[in-house]
Amino acid sequence: MSKANTKDLLIEIGTEELPPTALNKLSNAFYNGVKEGLEKADLSFSEIKKFAAPRRLALLISDLDVKQKDKNVERRGPAIAAAFDENGCPSKAAEGFARSCGVKVEDLDKLETDKGAWLNFKTEQKGLNTSELITEIVQTSLDKLPIPKRMRWADLDAQFVRPVHWLVLLFGEDVIDAEILSVKSGRETRGHRFHHPEAITIPSPKEYEMLLETHGKVIADFDRRKEAVRGQVNEIALKVKGKAMIDEDLLEEVSAMVEWPVAVMGDFEKRFLDIPQETLILTMKTNQKYFYVVDKKGALLPHFITVSNIESKDVTKVQEGNERVIRPRFADAEFFWSQDRKSKLVDRLTRLGSVVFQKKLGTLLDKTRRVEKLSSTIADQLAGNTQLAVRAAELCKCDLLTEMVGEFPSLQGVMGRYYAKHDDEDPEVATALEEYYKPKFSGDTLPRSITSQSLAIADRLDTLVGIFAIGQIPTGDKDPFALRRAALGVLRILIENKLDLDLLHLIKITAEQYDADLKAHDAELAVFDFILDRLHAYYLDKGIRPDILDAVLSTKPSKPLDINNRLLAVDAFRQLAEAESLAAANKRIGNILKKIKGDLPSKIDTKLFQEDAEKDLFQTLAKLDSKVQSLIYDAKYQDALSELSTLRASVDQFFDDVMVMADDEKLKNNRIALLNKLHSLFLQIADISKLQK
């Protein structure tokens, strides 16, 4: 369709302030919904530009067809044999088909092919005008928006995330007459709530963005507004010779809260810098949506940057207002910091006995005692300081009873480190109180010291075993104790810190800490399998194919670090030219061995060899055996598989020349014993028969 047969379309939904954290998600979903609707309607366009601001969701669709293309429609009806009776009269099937097409039977065509003949209907379907289709496309898209809970307003039937006040549907210079969400369409938008609350008439879609910005004091493009916020915040920080710390999630949220961003610097008393800076930063970011400022060394400066949604005539009033709000919050934190340090962390230990961890698993004090023993065991296996591990475990939950953590729960661990340092605890213990919470999220750093690692593993395993023992295994999306995250955390700590620990053995020790009545031992294998299941997603992210993981896990290794080493070896082996042939051979061997009833033959008698191929395979195996076993013992799996890859020619020749399932029982068992030895060598690393092409 030529350019003359296209127009630009502007769609704008004007609302009360939309939820800031959901704005981008809503905008993207609206864009995708309308785009899908246009494509389904076979309407072409050159591009769609989306706009998202606190009080609007909008789309500008350029060069949209003004009308659907006409198209030929063809429908096949019943077979001729079923369409007419022996007298040539139309059957009910033929008459029904004709009615559905809006014609008489005699007006239908006949379609003849090599496979037979059928009644056929052909017609030209005229394309509808785009203006007739847009209302339904927009409504369908709005209905599909990811809104957990829709609201009603006034006495209207409409439901949306927020009350809707205006609707723009402008196609070229013409308004598409429609009613969506109980609002009539028009060409009038609204500017900034305070700077330009009056209506703004839009002559054409292309003028929308410019008019809103120059007349309405609204930057409708979310990305442009976000970069404006970033630029202003960075620029204003330079005035105090500082650097603004811009958290991307906070930047997104702030940008979704303002239509006309104006960054304003605020100050607070230097005495507050004596409080742990994490407390101040959390207050500024979470409670106030401020950006904090640091010096060249990364130390917090007594300033903050807020982003106002108004261009005030007196900026000092905006500054002073924000300073008045932040001051009492900082004063509360200062009070908590002072009060908490009046008693030591360890003095809160016994009080953990009054805090329930889980009704069937006891109190936080009960959990602490279990974790102490397990941490000591793990530290001992890692050649660490068991006394430090026990002390860290003893104190790890105590900061939960401080005033500061009570007010700011996300600071648990962080405040534990500060209070432990204040109490002159060993630095490694103090650090462990914070680090044992790591990793908190994907890509997070890991505990560094043995004390931190021992505590992190022990705490997670105690939770996993306990919760599994009482039958509260995660199902679907429900995981109230975050067991999946705990399991992945254990794996990451063991693998990425290269800790050569037996996971199944640690789970058994964990189960021993619980009372016999709980029967925690019954949950050991379930916990082990649950943790290893997390490896699929973990390695998929690293580009390791699922079949490689299956090949390794099928041999039942119980050390995650060992699993990792085997995986890397098998992944490298898979790249070899010999891999495919040996994988197929191992699959064939496995199928043969499955057919054998009872114990597999293991004794090889060289005197029974009849073919050169079986003699050659035996001799090659004999030469490799001790060397491969030694490499496997040293966990040099890649070298071992490299050696085993040299067997390819012998194995291929064996299957070409040798009949394994011979009629002679002794001969058959001897050959099976030879294959069993070969298969067993590979199985000490992985079941390579599971490798896919």
DSSP, residue by residue, 88-111: SPBPHHHHHHHHHHTS-GGG-EEE
Domain annotation covers residue 571: no
Which residues lie below 8 Å from residue 384, measured CB to CB, with a gap of 6+? 449, 450, 451, 454
Whether 184 and 285 share a structural domain: no
Last residue of a domain, one of 100, 125, 150: 125
CATH number for position 470: 1.10.3210
Q: Which amino acid appears at position 525 of this protein?
A: L
Domains of the chain: total: 5
Indicate if 59 and 103 belong to the same structural domain: no
- Report the distance separating Cα 391 and Cα 369, nearest Å: 11
Last residue of a domain, one of 496, 517, 543: 543
> For the segment 393-422, what is each residue's pLDDT rounded down to a tens digit?
999 999 999 999 999 999 999 999 999 999
Q: State what percent of residues in the chain have pLDDT above 90.
A: 69
Q: Are residues 369 and 273 in the same domain?
A: no
| Same structural domain, 51 and 107 | no
Residues 665 and 586 in one domain: yes
Q: Does residue 91 sit in the same domain as residue 240?
A: no
pLDDT at 110: 84
Q: Comparing 14-18, 73-77, 218-222, which segment has the lowest mean pLDDT?
A: 73-77
Residue-wise pLDDT for 676-690, tens only, equals: 888 888 888 898 888
Residue 557 lies in a domain: no
Same domain, 326 and 384: no
60 and 172 share one domain: yes
Give whole-number Cα distances, 488 to 43, 393, 535, 553, in Å: 47, 21, 8, 16
- 93: containing domain: 71-125
Ranked by mean pLDDT, which of 100-104, 106-110, 438-442, 463-467 comes out on top?
463-467
In CATH, what number is assigned to the domain containing residue 629? 1.10.730.10
Round to whole Å and give the CA distance between 669 and 657: 17
Is residue 28 located within the same domain as residue 87? no
552 domain-assigned? no
The answer to the question of residue 362 being in a domain is yes
Whether residues 210 and 263 fall in one domain? no
Q: State the Cα–Cα distance between residues 134 and 533, nearest whole angstrom.
A: 47
Judge if 512 and 615 occupy the same domain.
no
The CATH number of residue 167's host domain is 3.30.70.260
Flag whether pLDDT at 1 surpasses 80.
no
Residues 108 and 246 occupy one common structural domain: no
Residue 508 within any structural domain of the chain: yes
Residue 559 lies in a domain: no
* Residue 567 falls inside a structural domain: no
Final residue before a domain boundary, out of 543, 559, 587 = 543
Least confident of 32-41, 345-354, 600-609: 600-609
Q: Which tokens sit at 112? A: 């003849």
How far apart are alpha carbons 56 and 191 in whole angstroms? 10
Mean pLDDT over 217-243 rounds to: 96
pLDDT for 2 beyond 60: no
Amino acid identity for residue 86 in this structure: E
Q: Tell me the per-residue pLDDT of 346-402, one tens digit each, with 9 for 90 and over.
A: 999 999 999 999 999 999 999 999 999 999 999 999 999 999 999 999 999 999 999
3-state SS assignment for residue 118: strand
Residue 572 falls inside a structural domain: no
Structure tokens at 43: 């309407």
**Cα 246 from Cα 161, distance rounded (Å):** 29
